[in-house]
Amino acid sequence: MAEKIGEIREKFKSCRQEELGGLIACYREDSRAGVRSLVESALKRVQALEAERSRLQKMRFYEDQYREYGLICGIDEVGRGPLAGPVVAGAVILPADCEILYLNDSKKLSPSKREELYEVICREAVGIGLGFVGPERIDEINILQATYEAMRQAIGKLNPQPDVLLNDAVTIPGVGIRQVPIIKGDAKSVSIAAASIVAKVTRDRLMEEYEKVYPGYGFAANKGYGAASHIEALKKYGPTPIHRRSFLTHFI
C-alpha cells in the first residue's frame, strides 16, 4: 500500500539537510502531484545550500591565503556614526575548518539572524575579544582614534593571540601583528563577518539596556543613531551622559 502524502510530508519536514538527497532519490519517481511538489521543494533546499556553501567558500579566500602564517583573526567595529553610546570592536578567531552558514556583513542580516549567528559564533570560535570606548573618550580623541583604541582592546583580550589580522578597511596603529586591510571586508571574509556580528549584537544589546536607564530617547530602536525622534528628544530633554558632545553641535 502506497504511503500517504501526509506521512511523506512529515518525512521531508523532519529530515536533516544532509539526508535530503536520499529522500529525494526515494520519492523522485512518485507520480503524485503532492509528492512531486515535496521533491521539488527539497531540490530547491539542496540547491540553496550548495549556493550558500559556494558563497562561503569565496568568503574564505583571505583565510585560505594567510592560513600558513597561523591563527587568523577578523576585526570589525560598530558604532562610529551614532550620537550616543560607545564604539564597539569585535575580534574573532574561527577554526580553520569552521563552516557557519549565512555568515555575512552584519548590516545585511536581520536582527533575529544576527542573534542566531552570534550564538553559533560564540560556541564555535577559538577566541573572541571585545573592545569598548565610551563617549567621553570619543570626544577627547575623536572617533577614528577611539575606533583604533577599541580594536586594540579587542585584540588584547584574545587568548590565544592571533598571527594575522584581517581588518575591515583599516590598518590599526600600535599593533605588532601582521595586518591585512580589506575594503568591505565584512562581506568578503568570514572572520571579519563574524567580528561584525559579534560587535553589532553586543552594542545593540547595550543600547537596549541604556533605554531603561535613559527612557525617552528611543535607544532600543535607534541604537543611538540620529533618528528624527532621537533628535527631537535631544532638543526637548538635552543630552544624557552617554551622548557624544562633539557629535551634537548641529542639533543642540
Q: Please report the domains of the chain, with CATH numbers, ordered by start residue.
A: 5-58 (no CATH), 62-246 (3.30.420.10)
Q: Tell me the HSE value of 137 on the side-chain side, using a 13 A CA sphere.
A: 15
Residues in the chain with pLDDT values less than 70: 1
Which strand ranges, in their side-by-side order, compose the sheet holding 87-93?
127-133, 87-93, 72-78, 164-168, 178-182
Backbone phi, psi, residue 184, to 5°: 55, 40
The DSSP bridge partners found for residue 93 are 73, 127
End-to-end CA distance of the chain: 77
pTM of model > 0.85: yes
Separation of alpha carbons 196 and 186, rounded Å: 7
Query: What pLDDT does residue 1 have?
Result: 58
C-alpha cell at 27: 520519492
The one-letter code for the residue type at 204 is: D
**C-alpha of 26 from chain center:** 38
